[in-house]
Amino acid sequence: MAEIRVLDQDTINQIAAGEVVERPASIVKELVENSIDARSSAITVEIKGGGIDFIRITDNGCGIEESQVRTAFLSHATSKIASAQDLETVASLGFRGEALSSIAAVSKVEVITKTDEGISGIRFVIEGGEEVSYEVIGCPEGTTFLIRNLFFNTPARRKFLKSKMTEAGYVEAFIQRLAISHPDISFKFISDNKNKISTSGNGNLKDVIYHIYGRDIALNLLEVKDKEEDIEIAGFIGKPLICRGNRAYENYFVNGRYLKNNIITKAIEDGYKGHSMIHKFPFTALMIHMDPHSFDANVHPSKMEMRFHNGELLYSVISRAVRESFVKKELIPGIGMEGKKEPGKDTSPANTPEPFESKRKQIEERFSRLSQEKIRSIQDEKKQKKDMVQESTDTAPERHASLAEKLRKLKLEEKPELKADIDRQMHPSTLKQPDLGSTTRMPVLKEPDQYGKQMKLEDIPLFSGDTKPSYRLIGQVFRTYWMFEYDDKLFFVDQHAAHEKVMYEKMRKNLQEKKVSQQMVAPPIILSLNLREQQRLESCREAFRELGYSLEDFGGDEYCIRAVPADLIDLDPRDLFVELLDNIDDNTGKMDFNVLTDKLASMACKAAVKGNMNLSFQEMEALMDQLMELENPYQCPHGRPTIISMTQKELEKKFHRIQ
């Protein structure tokens, strides 16, 4: 039998470092979180070589007492907690006391620190866990950490790091998340002498989002705000048109701590259902505040995971908050000048992030510095040029009109049949109205009230107002899209997506209100279930009954299904039942109705009117009425837009009527 021995402290430190220090971003995470816990209002992070060669973190926090500098680098030394009971209410980002000792074990560390009350500061150098120097120096309040040559004494670990650019990207992503979760702190990130991130620390979350993610995302945000019991949600989510192909832009924080959690992720994405395309993921910046007793952050060394005592309530609050953020919001994408979908059109000062407003003020101040004499001279010069041009063009209209008239007469004289044809077509008695039975299906436009139609759209922002407005249905184009005019916009409706959305919402409403009918099946469906499946069935037997299933015990491990939901008869009843059973949550005993709604979406898609089908005006108007009565008429169940718009201004630019 192998001998059991106690490991030496150096080996213990390196093993602990392997849990805490995975890459340069791990060091930045631990030290910057300590800076936040030290009540810093400004934090600067500088790295070189992806953080492998050099890391410097400077803050203006409370600093470390002179007598505690050496103690801070001991294993499990911390100022965040004092006993095991404190773990239940920990409010700081760090609390394990493993960071500094682990970092010092695998790198060369220098710390310079001074408290507000201290007359002088301390410079302490420790390399590979061994103290090198300790001296008193003059320095400003706060703490500066310098980390050099990461894994210099463990080259086997160093070779598993990625490229310097990739490692720098991990650090940048972490600073971005911290800046979002703490908008009241000014963050600055420098990589290889290049300024990458700089936030003001003014507490404006939208301003931080603009600085990090840019104008397109900052102009397409929806505010989220909700509260239930001890859970409070606040922040922003992106409109569906800025969804991405991965979850990299899903940012959420619990009591200021960034984490990844399946419950929260599922709640966010379920809140987006029906608004975003399948396999597209939203942008979110959500701050979740909870009672510290309701979760456990002491789950993983990286503190990126949490366990929640009431995950079902958390899921419900988040999904509802996200879903309600779309209520009464116009989500119709516009057509840009080059035919591309433009992320946002509202650039008014009230909806423009601060950087745009400050830039405008700078430009105004710059031009205001021009002297009045210079402006006056420029105006006089322009006036003189204008007068000269006016003199030369006074007779131009007469010349142009005369020339045009001569050309017209010449053409008509050469072709007398053309003149006769024009006179015949322009005579009032020969004018024809459009044929409603033709393919174009254009309406007769005699009086405004013949084509104006009242719609019940007072609850939809696109058509908001004190009085019920009217829209003008123009017709069908390419046998797939409808055009209608409202105010100064031209709207295009995808008839398949619109019909699919109406049918889906009708079926979903019937299921929610339990307005389902049963269809008997003969012969009955016999299923053999194992013990785990039987437990799931018993926990949701009533839910199955409300859906329209009629279940009976058939002896032993077998169950008999004698009736199935009539509205879902197009689906294989056996496969649907098994899929619903498999997706019952073992922890909560609740049925996952998302499985069912996905099936409804497929059914609606198959049954909806297709493209390349002619529709009458009555059919289009009836479907428009039903579509606009929905809570969300803007996307089909699969997330595709049902309506897009083009403004009159954009159309006039296309024809070069305006610049």
Q: Is residue 343 part of a domain?
A: no
Distance between CA 562 and CA 522 in Å, rounded?
Answer: 7
Same domain, 13 and 138: yes
**Domain assignment present for 261:** yes
- Has residue 348 been placed in a domain? no
Q: Indicate the number of domains in the chain.
A: 3
Domain that holds residue 328: 214-335
Domain match, 256 and 191 both: no
Per-residue confidence band for 107, with pLDDT thresholds at 50, 70 and 90: very high
**97-106, 157-166, 450-459, 628-637, range with greatest mean pLDDT:** 157-166
Task: Tell me if 440 is assigned to some domain.
Answer: no
Cα separation values, 97 from 28, 103, 112, 292, Å: 15, 11, 19, 20
Which residue(s) pair with 122 in the sheet? 113, 136
**Residue 658, in any domain of the structure:** no
Give residues with Cβ within 8 angstroms of 299, minimum separation 6. Answer: 305, 306, 307
Does 110 fall in a domain? Answer: yes
Q: Please state which of the ranges 135-149, 322-336, 369-383 shows the lowest mean pLDDT.
A: 369-383
Residue 133 has pLDDT above 50, yes or no: yes
Q: How far is CA 102 from CA 14, 16, 99, 259, 508, in A?
A: 7, 6, 5, 22, 55
In CATH, what number is assigned to the domain containing residue 105?
3.30.565.10
Q: Is residue 221 part of a domain?
A: yes
Contact of 497 with 641, CB cutoff 8 Å: yes
Name the more confident of 395 and 78. 78
Domain harbouring 566, CATH code: 3.30.1370.100
Whether 219 and 330 map to the same domain: the answer is yes
Task: Mean pLDDT check: name the lowest of 214-223, 398-407, 557-566.
Answer: 398-407
Among candidate residues 102, 83, 87, 78, the one with its CA nearest the CA of residue 29: 102
Task: Report pLDDT for 330.
Answer: 58
What is the tens place of the pLDDT at every residue in 559-609?
888 888 776 666 677 777 877 787 776 666 676 666 666 666 666 776 677
58 shares its domain with 31? yes
For 39-68, the DSSP string reads: T-SEEEEEEEGGGTSEEEEEE-S----GGG
Q: In whole numbers, what is the pLDDT of the chain averaged over residues? A: 75
Structure-block tokens of residue 628 = 């606009």
Partner residues linked to 236 by β-bridges: 223, 285
Q: Which residue has the higher pLDDT, 318 or 616?
A: 318
Closest CA to 29 of 172, 155, 154: 172
Same domain as 25, residue 97: yes
Position 207 in a domain:
no
Same-domain status, 148 and 71: yes
- pLDDT value of position 644: 81
Of the pLDDT bands very low, low, confident and very high (cuts 50, 70, 90), residue 351 is very low
- Are 143 and 220 part of one and the same domain? no
Query: Of 563, 588, 607, which residue is a domain's last?
Result: 607
Percent of residues, the chain, with pLDDT higher than 90: 20
d(CA 601, CA 538): 28
Q: What is the distance between the alpha carbons of residues 59 and 196, in angstroms, rounded to a whole number?
A: 18
Res 443 pLDDT > 90 = no
Lowest mean pLDDT among 404-418, 602-616, 634-648: 404-418
For 252-267, what is each residue's pLDDT tens digit? 999 888 888 888 998 9
Q: What is the pLDDT of residue 55?
A: 96
Note the pLDDT of residue 13: 64
Q: What b/e string do you get for 293-317 counting C-beta neighbours within 10 Å, with b at 16 or more? A: ebbebbeebebeebebeebeebbeb
**The pLDDT value given to residue 535:** 77
399: helix, strand or coil = helix
pLDDT digits (tens, 9 = 90+) for 487-499: 778 888 888 888 8
CA–CA separation, 517 and 510 (whole Å) = 10
Asked whether residue 345 carries a pLDDT value surpassing 50, the answer given is no
314 vs 400 pLDDT, higher one: 314
Inform me whether the pLDDT recorded for 367 exceeds 50.
Answer: no
The pair of structure tokens assigned to 343 is 């992320």
Picking from 128, 163, 198, the residue at the C-terminal end of a domain is 198
Same-domain pairing of 190 and 243: no
Asked if the model's pLDDT at residue 416 lies above 60, the reply is no
Q: Do residues 616 and 443 make contact, with C-beta atoms less than 8 angstroms apart?
A: no
Residue 196 confidence (pLDDT) above 80:
yes
Q: What CATH number is attached to the domain comprising 274?
A: 3.30.230.10
Residues 169 and 229 in one domain: no
Q: Which carries the bigger pLDDT value, residue 119 or residue 82?
A: 119
Question: What confidence score (pLDDT) does residue 303 get?
Answer: 64
The Cα angle at residue 174 between residues 178 and 298, in degrees rounded to 5: 75
Shared domain check, 129 and 18: yes
- Tens digit of pLDDT for each residue in 34-51? 899 889 999 999 999 999
> What pLDDT is recorded for position 463?
41
Strand partners, 518: 565
Average pLDDT over residues 55-72: 92
Residues 232 and 187 in one domain: no
Give pLDDT tens digits for 224-250: 999 888 899 999 998 887 887 778 889
Are 15 and 142 in the same domain? yes
How buried is 39 (Cβ within 10 angstroms: 0-12 exposed, 13-18 middle, 19+ buried)? exposed
In the listed set 607, 630, 646, which residue is the last one of a domain according to the structure?
Answer: 607
529: pLDDT strictly greater than 60: yes
